[in-house]
Structure 1
Amino acid sequence: MALTRTSDHPKLAAHPPLAVVINNLRNACGIRRSTLFRRAERRAPEVGSGSAAARRGSARHDRNVTIQDDSFAPDELDRCAAELVGPVVPVGGRAEFAMARTWDRQPNRRRRGVVVPRVLPALVKWIEKQMVHHSRFDDSPFISDSAFPWSRGLEENWRDIRAELDTLLEHRAALPNFQDISTGQRHITNDDHWKTYFFYGYGLRFDPNCERCPRTAELLSRIPGLKTAFFSILGPHKQVPPHRGPYKGVVRYHLGLKIPSPEDSCGIRVGGQEAHWQEGAGMFFDDTYVHEAWNGTDEDRAVLFLDVVRPMAFPYSLINDMVIKGIARSRFVQEAKGNQEAWEQRFAQLLQRK
């Protein structure tokens, strides 16, 4: 099998195996070479003293996880490779990584070179393993806020966010259920007791929702690496069963906004560790650990739910950025975008009638 070129940019030669992965992910996610090089120019360390023979040997070591540059037409590779991650699935005894298999759904399409579903899941799993060693914090279920100083700004202004949430809750029945926006969530919720209000989804900004909550939108705009943001509202006695998130490249944050008393009647368990929300306080956790949540009260529990890019050292940060871009282009996310936009139109019409 022919290897992708690792010499497109001289600074990537310092990391020859990673250069192969980066080039392949760049192709898969539709990122232009010029964009990749601008990032590499800003972030890459200087080229080391390794020999060309050593670099070729490292590239040969990655032979099983490379995609030939011309294996597929660009549009085919874009559509296929963007299906990196499928919907979240509940777990039975152990966490399962939900992978969408585009080629299984489209068996009649022409295949040349590598069967992409075998390659991309392997790449993503390899990247997740590297994150354990190259993240800027320990690999534990709950994460210290020291790596995310912006969280203090949210917590200091939580009452402003709560005021906008309270206005929305006047229309609680009209707010979308989680599974109405992201149909993959039907595995973990299928009733009307988990309401949402999205500001961002995998980097896609939903302008009408942001305009209705200008203060919240302003505070969110200050957060570096923000990918997903929404009000997450668990109805009375709602339980979310054990499940895991689809990809370790983001870190989850909950800011307590409306927490009924007693506070210990609402909680979340991540990787076997239990925590309870408090109004005005936030918590970070790794959602790829098996986790579950519950509201054992007669009132709504509401948090501001965020996913932010996991801080990592270069070049793993660059690889992570490309995987996230690929997920954002997937059918799974694009379908949710369409559902969100359709709900926004219905909600706007409802408000006009009132």
Structure 2
Amino acid sequence: MAKKKTIYHLTKGLRDRVDAFVMRFSLLPDQALFDPYIMQWVRDLEQNWERIRDEALCMAASDIPSLGEISPDHGRIAADRRWRSFFLEGYGYRRQENRARVPTTAALIDRIPNLCTASFSVLEPGCHIPRHRGMTKGMLTYHLALQVPADRENCWIQFEEGDRLHVCPWTAGRSILFDDTYNHEVWNNTTDTRYVLLIQVRRPCRWPARLLMDVFFQGVRYSRFVQDIRKNLDRRGT
């Protein structure tokens, strides 16, 4: 039986052309990691990180769906069902029932301009997310660490940037901002669970790249990738 292709494979040629165009007009360099404080909203989140954490930890990891259960397009990278995601917003769709459970977090993410997605990302003990890369350079990904294992050196994300390997353990209350089109991999080799607030925002660009991103993300919004997630979340009620 032929392997079902995901949106990542089906749109590869288009994405490569979009990425090249976006980077011609990007206001940021092409690199894996950024100073998170280039985004003005980061300090607001960090100043409220304990309130965000308390809302996230009101939910046991086992009550949050596995990403692989709700997003078929994440395929092999979400095969480990110990990677869980509690969605708050994605590509213009708001999970109102989830936002109502975390009102402080919802109010804070509403202040973030050019928001693409927002969720709590949970890694249970022993979870490993294999090496992969994201969909487009039109987005940057942000992590605010909420709960970090006591053995934090054994819970980390690493990025490949040419010949360099960046290894980044999380620190509670601190931020990481990165371009997820660089190959990266994640481990939680501890006996504790890790929680982060995961945000994706549009990359700052000049016109006409902003116009192209409007069209691209509108296509993503109505793609099977997003619609399958919505249907699966509706079916679960989360």
Counterpart amino acid of 1:276? P
Q: Does 1:99 align with 2:14?
A: no
Distance 1:187 1:255 in 2: 25
Q: Does 1:145 align with 2:28?
A: no
Query: What's the TM-score, normalizing by structure 2?
Result: 0.91
What does residue range 1-354 of structure 1 map to in structure 2 within 5 Å? Answer: 86-88=6-8, 98-100=9-11, 122-169=13-60, 172-271=61-160, 272-344=165-237
Identify if the C-alpha distance between structure 1 residues 86 and 320 changes in structure 2 by more than 3 Å, giving closer, same or farther: farther
Q: Larger Rg: 1 or 2? A: 1
Count of residues paired in the alignment: 230
Distance 1:195 1:87 in 2: 20
CA contact (8 A) 1:229 1:304 kept: yes
**Deviation string, structure 1 residues 276-335 (Cα, Å, up to 9, x no partner):** 111101111001111101111101011111111111001111111210110111011111
Select the structure that is richer in helix. Answer: 1
SS of aligned partner of 2:28: coil
| Superposed structure 1 runs of 4+ greater than 3 Å apart | 85-88, 121-124
Select the structure that is richer in strand. Answer: 2
Distance 1:323 1:249 in 2: 9
Counterpart amino acid of 1:275? C
**Deviation string, structure 1 residues 4-39 (Cα, Å, up to 9, x no partner):** xxxxxxxxxxxxxxxxxxxxxxxxxxxxxxxxxxxx
CA contact (8 A) 1:242 1:290 kept: yes
Structure 2 residue runs of 5 or longer lacking an equivalent are none
| Alpha-carbon offset, residue 341 of structure 1 | 1.5
Counterpart amino acid of 1:162? R
Distance 1:174 1:268 in 2: 24
What fraction of aligned residue pairs are identical, expressed as a percent?
A: 35
Distance 2:140 2:85 in 1: 19
| Alpha-carbon offset, residue 122 of structure 1 | 4.5
| Alpha-carbon offset, residue 123 of structure 1 | 4.5
Query: What's the TM-score, normalizing by structure 1?
Result: 0.62
Distance 2:233 2:77 in 1: 19
